[in-house]
Chain A
């Protein structure tokens, strides 16, 4: 296994467009997380899945954001009607339930909204 992969690595879009990011976790990890990181800040928690169940969503995740993890494998994060404030690095991470806090991160998907 090569680790957590994210696609696309970079996305430039115009305000108002929809974007979707994909994350493929480490295969034996049942937990998957999405974080958002802006310049000069630490990652902020967005949402968390255990298998296919979305167990928690941050209040940072407005109605324009939706995440799915069908069949407990890969996950998608969709942002509808993007705004300039959505510009950030979107990080995906996965972990095994037996090792709390030991997250394996992907390289991130950088979103720029013009």
Chain B
């Protein structure tokens, strides 16, 4: 079974600064997807960024980028120019490509990010 580990329960960053959230995962599969989801306080979870394991190029979405290290099974999220609206729980998630149950996500325990003035 796949596992996802987020070792930083809480982090804080000042507005306009850069912060990196860590995620490691364990799998025996070669093809899979990795995701970062954001859950703002009292609001629904939304997808931040998606990475296919077969792509060596790191995914980027505006101020959000990832550092995907497949051999190390590491998948960190970098948020540049942090904004107050980035305050949220951030969940790293894994989905297998090879099984018949596409899109069943395995989530980490989350990192609570607080952006301060």
Contact = CB atoms under 8 A, between A and B. Distances in A.
A, B bound = yes
A105 B46 contact: yes
Contacts of B43: 107
B75 interface: no
Contact of B93 (A56, A95, A101): A101
| Interface size of B as a range | 20 to 34
B104 interface: yes
Interface of B: 4, 33, 35, 42-47, 50, 91, 93, 95, 97, 100-110
A79 to B, nearest CB: 21
Interface of A: 3-4, 31, 33, 40-45, 48, 55-56, 91, 93, 95, 97, 100-108
Contacts of B4: 42
7 contacts: A4-B44, A33-B103, A40-B110, A56-B104, A95-B103, A100-B102, A106-B44
A55 B45 contact: no
A29 B57 CA distance: 29
Nearest to B100: A55
Nearest to B91: A42
Contacts of B50: 101-102
A101 B101 contact: no
Nearest to B9: A40
A25 B97 CA distance: 23
A100 B45 contact: no
